[in-house]
Structures are given as C-alpha cells and as structure tokens.
Structure 1
C-alpha cells in the first residue's frame, strides 16, 4: 500500500512544472519581450529563462531590477513546490529504503533553507528601490549571497540521490523537480549579478537606480 501511495503521489504531481511559474502578468509588450530575451542570453539556461519570464512583460517592462525580481519569484515558487512534494514523500516512510528516507529528510532541510533564502532575497531586492542613502553594494551582496546559498542547497539535495543504489522512480521524481529549481535559481542569480553590474556602470533606467 505504501508503494502504491508513493506511485500515486508521483503521478498526481507529474504536471507540477506547469503550475509553479508563479503569478503571471496580463497583457504583453513586444518591447519588454525583446528586452527579456536579450537579458536572458546572459543566463546559463536562456530558453528556460525566456519561457519562465515571458508572462511578466507588463511588470518587468525594461527594468533590470524587476527582471531579477521576477526571476527570483519563479525560483521561489518552484522551490516551494519541490519542498512540498518532498515533504509529502517523507510521510510515506514505509515505502522507502533507509538510504532513500535519509536522503529525503536531508533534502527537506535543504529545500527549506532554499525557500527561506530566496524569500529573503526577494524582500531585500524589492526594498532596495525604496531605501534612500543606503549602500547599494551591501544590499545587493546580501541578495547574491542568499541566492548563491539557495543554489548550493539545491545541489546538496541532488547529491543525496547521486548514488547508483538510489536509482528508481523516487530518485527520478525528486531530481527532476530539484534540477528544475536549480536551473531557474542559476538564471535568477545571473540576472541579479547583471543588475548589480549594470547599476555600478550607471547603465540603468532612473527607476532602477538607487541613490
């Protein structure tokens, strides 16, 4: 029965990627769409970047900061969905090998840390435009540190399922979700870094600049 429950959970959650692209914006702006496509070329997964952010054109417009913020939002949504999925699997302990259960428990902790770090990053980046007289480097360094840590935690979760003895549907299902998280987190970090570099170079819209 436990194995059947695991199978049903894997089956019912097979379409999770379609529902974890976060909240989409209405409308479309060709200029903003071109901006997103151009900026996504700087990421490791440009096609995925465009796919995930294409629903945010009305929010992003031509804003480097809003682009990074939207990328963090996508990453957080996928991390939360993956964390929820892994947590549900942990409650079906009877259907797992001890090594699998241990890896699942470790992954729950990793993904919990990931969601916390991405949430803090979003709040920090979102507040930066409203904070006057603060040092830009300090604030953006916080964001970069937290997003980097989130990516490390995602990869640590994946490492727990790397051994051959872990092969099976459980490993495949978890790795698929966490790899998706790691890819969008990598893209988000690249866009945060790009925003930081552009700000330092003075090459931003006035609405993105922090004084």
Structure 2
C-alpha cells in the first residue's frame, strides 16, 4: 500500500504541472503568483518599467491577471495625466509678460495636447469594447487603438519640439517639459501594453 501511495504522489505532481503548463499555453502568459507580480512582470516589457509599476500597481486588485484590463488601465492613467497637463499648459498661457515665442509655443502645445487627449479618449472607448470582437474584427479595432495611441505620443513630442532652442529656456519651458514628458512616458508604456495585449489574442 505504501509503495502504491509513493508512486502515486509523483504522478499527481506531474499531472498538476501538465495542467498548469496547458493553462499557461492557452492564455499565452506565465501565471504570476500574485496580481502585483503580474503588473511588475508585464511592465518589464515597457520603455519605462519603474514608472509603469509605480502608476499601475495601485490598480492591481482591479487588473487581476487580465492583459486587457492592464492595457485599459494604462490608457486611462495616460488620458487623465494628459488632461491634467493640458490644463496646466492652459494656465501658463494666461501668464502676463510672456515672450512672443513663448506664447506661440504654448498655444501650439495646447493644440497638440488637445489632440493627444482626444486620441487617448478614443483609444479608451475602443479598447473597452474589445471583448466582443474576434479574429479579423479584433485586429481591425485593435489597430485603431494602436494607431491613435501612437498619434497621441507624436502629439506630445510635437509639443516639446515647439520649445526647442536656448531662446525659450526658463521656468516656463522646464515646467511644461516636466508635465508633457511624464505624459509621453506614460503613453509610451500604454502603447507597449496595448501591443502586448494585441499579440496574445
């Protein structure tokens, strides 16, 4: 009897490993031990992993182990930050005593950040509905998300380009740069997570 039990235990362990491997293959993801590990593991594929972990770990309970929810949360964080940055730039544009070049750069940046907010907003709406799409329909709608997020990132960089050159150096430039660079990095991370989600479906 003891020999039968001893031979059954390794068999049971092997069976558990096979089932676990099959589940991982089916989802395309290794199963992290905890939801917080899932966020950290996923963020390792982004351009700014520390920022990714810091901004998304607080949503671990909501994200669970869902690549879709992770990408959607990253987009929402990027959208909220872009809205905040746009508001910040709008306030700076009302300051008195701005140089003519500063005023123009700020005005252009407001337009670019407005575009970024719109594109990110469209991306969030599109990604929310991805669960009902399959096959070619999924890829078509997912390509919309990827295109819009990429365009939003371009908008952020175009805003920063408007402040190039030493003539615009100063507090205005450094303040706006800090805000927009943060948005650009978050958007870059969101794009990476969207791309990861797209590849696993």
TM-score, structure 2 normalization: 0.82
Say whether residues 1:102 and 2:104 are aligned partners. Answer: yes
- Other structure's SS at 1:161 match: coil
Change (3 A) 1:167 1:44: same
- Other structure's SS at 1:95 match: coil
Name stretches of at least 5 consecutive residues in structure 2 with no aligned partner. 1-31
Root mean square deviation, CA, Å: 1.5
Q: Which residue of 1 aligns with 2:56?
A: 53
How far 1:132 moved relative to its partner? 6.4
How far 1:139 moved relative to its partner? 0.4
Say whether residues 1:72 and 2:75 are aligned partners. Answer: yes
- CA deviation digits over 1:49-96, x for unaligned, max 9? 00000111111100000000010011001100000011111122x321
Equivalences for residues 22-171 of structure 1 within 5 A: 31-92=34-95, 94-131=96-133, 135-171=137-173
Aligned residue-pair number: 170
How far 1:130 moved relative to its partner? 3.3
Structure with greater Cα Rg: 2
Candidates 176, 179, 182, aligned match of 1:177: 179
- Other structure's SS at 1:125 match: helix
TM-score, structure 1 normalization: 0.78
- CA deviation digits over 1:26-63, x for unaligned, max 9? xxx97110000000010000000000001111111000
- Other structure's SS at 1:101 match: helix
Q: Greater share of helix residues, 1 or 2?
A: 2
Runs of 4+ in 1 over 4 A off after TM superposition: 131-134
